[in-house]
Structure 1
Amino acid sequence: MTESPAAVLVTGEDGVAELRLQRPPVNALDAAAQDLVAALARRADGREDVRALVVTGGDRFCAGADVREMAAMTGDDMALRAPSLQAFTDAVAAVGVPVVAALEGPVLGGGLELALACDVRVCARGARLGLPEVGLGVLPGAGGTQRLARLVGPSLAKDLLWSGRSLDADEALAVGLVDEVVEAGEGETAARRRAAGYAEAGPREVLRAAKRAVDEGAALPLAAGLALERRLFTELFAGPERARRMGAFAARRRPAGPAGPAGG
Structure 2
Amino acid sequence: MYQESLRMIENMIFCIDIPTIGAINGSGSHWQMGTLCDITICAEGTDFFDAHYLGGVSPGDGIVLTLQNLTGIKRAAFCAYTGRNMNAQTALDLGIVSEVLPNEKLLTRAWELAEMIMQGAVANK
What is the TM-score with the length of structure 1 in the denominator?
0.41
**Which residue does the alignment assign to 1:218?**
none
Q: Give the corresponding residue for 1:122.
A: 41
Deviations 1:157-199 (A, max 9, x none): 1211111122111121111111101112222211221122112
- Alignment match, 2:58: 138
Tell me the residue number matched to 1:186: 105
Separation (CA, whole Å) in 1 of partners of 2:10 and 2:80: 20
Distance 1:145 1:92 in 2: 15
How many correspondences in the alignment? Answer: 121
Q: 1:100 touches 1:120 (CA, 8 Å); kept in 2?
A: yes
1:92 is matched with which residue? 12
Per the alignment, residue 176 of structure 1 pairs with 95
Q: 1:88, CA displacement in angstroms?
A: 4.9
Provide the rounded CA distance (Å) in 1 between the counterparts of 2:20 and 2:47: 20
For 1:190 and 1:135, locate their aligned partners in 2 and report how far apart those are by CA, in whole Å: 35
Answer yes or no: is the 8 Å Cα contact 2:6–2:65 preserved in 1.
no
Q: Contact 1:105–1:128 (CA<8 Å) still a contact in 2?
A: yes
Alignment correspondent of 2:83: 164
1: CA distance between counterparts of 2:40 and 2:64?
17
The percent identity for this pair of structures is 21
Question: How far apart are residue 89 of structure 1 and its match?
Answer: 4.6
Q: What letter matches 1:186 in structure 2?
A: K
Q: Quick one: distance in 1 between partners of 2:12 and 2:104? A: 24
CA distance in 2 between counterparts of 1:107 and 1:199 reads 30
SS in 1 for 2:103: coil
* Amino acid across the alignment from 1:148: L
Distance 1:175 1:193 in 2: 24
How much does 1:90 deviate? 4.4
Shift of 1:91: 4.1
How much does 1:202 deviate? Answer: 2.2
* 2-structure distance, mates of 1:192, 1:159: 35
TM-score w.r.t. the length of structure 2 is 0.80
CA distance, structure 1, for counterparts of residue 38 and residue 52 of structure 2: 23
Instruction: Output one character per residue of 1:116-149: Cα deviation in whole Å (capped at 9) or x when no partner.
Output: 32122101111111121111222142x3323322
- Cα 1:190–1:95 change in 2 (3 A) is same
Which portions of structure 1, spanning 4 or more consecutive aligned residues, are displaced by more than 3 angstroms?
A: 85-92
Q: How does 1:1-264 map to 2 (within 5 A)?
A: 83=4, 88-93=8-13, 94-108=15-29, 110=30, 112-136=31-55, 137-141=57-61, 143-202=62-121, 241=125
Query: Does the 8 A contact of 1:90 with 1:117 survive in 2?
Result: no
Gaps of 5+ in 2: none
Aligned residue type for 2:19: P
